Amino acid sequence: MSDSIKIFAPATVANVSCGFDIFGLAVDQPGDEVILRKRNDDQIVITKITGDQGKLTYDSRKNTVTVPIIEFLRTIESNQGFDVELHKQMPLGSGLGSSSASSVAGVFAANQLLGLPLSVSELLPFSMEGERVACGAAHADNVAPALLGGFVVIRSYDPLDFIKINTPRELYVSIVHPDIEVNTKDARHILRQEAGIKIIIAQMGNVAGMIAGLMTSDYELIGRSMVDHLIEPKRAILIPYFNEVKEAALQNGALGASISGAGPSIFAFSKGKEQAEIVGKSMSAVFNKAGIETNLFVSGINQNGPKIID
């Protein structure tokens, strides 16, 4: 059995418009890489972090990559220690599940090196602890798709119950990340409100429509269901030019567009890769015209989740 392993875990789009805290999907790029090496003691030591501009802590009790590992080892009653390298390949606070990718890669790597004592699905509660460290809430809409791949529905948090949904083969995601930062905790704080019954009913209809559209490959229904009455109107004010970027996506053939996670990244669904590339470029152009640099990612739905690189 190997003493070291290198894992890639993918970025994710959470909420997916109408599914706040219950919908999430994985993409091919970007993502994070984690290298684990066994130690001869029981210590969990972060030896190297890159790509974070010096923002992340080396304290293993406070970093999203190591907290899940510590909880995992405690549960399986293992005294194995690890040296941990974290290579961030996406911006922090991007709305792309940066903390989730780190959490998933770390615990997935530990499980592999110890001979798979738990199934992949059983790793989800540990990955969620990384989210608790990152934003104060152990939600699963990013970590579940990062861990399992595909489009995941979190049906219940207590008890934890999740379902992986089939998605159409030609469904592509365009993600534009502007060079601005939205703090996840701030983005959640702004949501503290109550909603009227009519708005809740409308939201439930879109949630149901999204699932039906995905499972029947009804692209138009997917697009019609990408209406968020609860979260997007609040969070949009934190993202400059959001309305203009969304309109550009729709005008250039997107099925729909919304905020990825807590933002500031904005995503759009399209039918086909070529269409998704056109949509993505149109979204970036709005930010670029305003003097804001962007990163553009175009991807199908990543069905695999984390993968062993070395």
Instruction: Give the Cα separation of 107 and 94 in Å (integer).
Output: 22
Amino acid in the structure at residue 243: N
Which DSSP helix (H) or strand (E) runs through 58? none
**17, 256 in Cβ contact below 8 A?**
yes
The contacts of residue 189 (CB under 8 Å, 6+ apart) are none
Question: Which residue, among 130, 168, 170, 124, has the nearest Cα to 32 in the 3D structure?
Answer: 130
Q: Cα(246)–Cα(232) distance, rounded to whole angstroms?
A: 11
Which positions are annotated as active-site residues?
131, 184
Q: Does residue 82 contact residue 110 with C-beta atoms inside 8 Å? A: yes
Phi, psi of 15, deg, nearest 5: 75, -45
Q: How far apart are CA 233 and CA 191, in angstroms?
A: 10
Beta strands in the chain (DSSP E): 4-14, 23-38, 44-50, 82-88, 151-157, 160-165, 171-178, 256-259, 266-271, 294-300, 307-308
Q: Which amino acid type is present at position 277?
A: E
Distance CA 64, CA 93 (A): 13
